[in-house]
Structure formats: structure tokens, C-alpha cells
Amino acid sequence: MSYQNILVPVDGSDISFSALKHAAAIAKAFGSKVTAISVVAEDPFAAADFYYSPDMLKDYIQEAIKNAEEGLGKAKQLAEQQGVQIDTQVVRDSVAAETIIKTAESLHTDLIIMGSHGRKGFQKFFLGSFAQDVLGQTKLPVLIVKQ
């Protein structure tokens, strides 16, 4: 089986860049297209029980987009060092497995490669596993990178 379109969610963490490196190696072997995305929450304060100003939200979004673009720039540089061209995209939506899956489907992705922080025990119970959520909710193949 050959993969033509690979999606890699990048959050700026080392593990997400490790997933990007794996994606680049697979893309190089198969001649695949790689798209790295970074998700920025439209309204991260939606469930907050405090008042916030529109300026506060605007400042947050501007800073979050700047950070996402910096992370995607690093991802692009890492892929190009391996001889692979990639597309990058900031996705403004909720930071959820559904957003990754919806984006993967809209890009006609046939493989998602993502990092997992490998949380266990109480950490996993309280923080959940984003990679596990994607894996459990999509029919697409998912490669989980742990290092």
C-alpha cells in the first residue's frame, strides 16, 4: 500500500516534530504529499466562567496564530532538511479530534501521523489522550509516534 496524502498535526512539541520526521521519511519513500496543520481554538474561553473582553480574545488569537505559524515553519524546515516539500495550514476551529478528522477528510488524506505524549494512569484519565481520540474516531489509518 502506498500513501499519497499524509496529514501531520503539529502543536510545537518535540513529539509532534518527531511525528513530522516520520511523515517525511514515509513521504520520501512513497513520493507522498505531506500537509502539516496546527489547530488554533476559535474561542478558547467558550466554557470559561469568567468575563473576558473582545480585546482579550483578539490578543489570544493573534498570539496563538503566531505560535502556530512558528511551529509550522519549524515543521517545514525539518521536512525540507529530509528533502520533502510540505504544505502547512493553520486550522481555526476547536482543538479536538473531530477537527483533525474533518481536516484529514477535506484534504483527502489517506494517513494521519501524530505524536502521543504517552500519558498513563491519572494523567490519561484527567487529560485524556488526543491521539487515542483521533484513532478511535476515524476510519483512516493512523500512525502514532511516541518518540
Whether the pLDDT of residue 106 is over 90: the answer is yes
Query: CA-CA distances (angstroms) from residue 56 to 59, 61, 68, 101, 141?
Result: 5, 9, 18, 29, 39
Q: How many CA atoms lie within 13 A of 64 on its CB side?
A: 20
Q: Which of 21-35, 74-88, 122-136 is predicted with the least confidence, judged by mean pLDDT?
A: 122-136
The residues, ordered by sequence, that sit 6+ positions from 29 with a Cβ below 8 Å of its Cβ are none
- The three-state secondary structure class of 111 is strand
Amino acid at 14: D
Q: For the segment 10-64, what is each residue's pLDDT rounded down to a tens digit?
A: 999 999 999 999 999 999 999 999 999 999 987 666 655 566 667 777 888 899 9
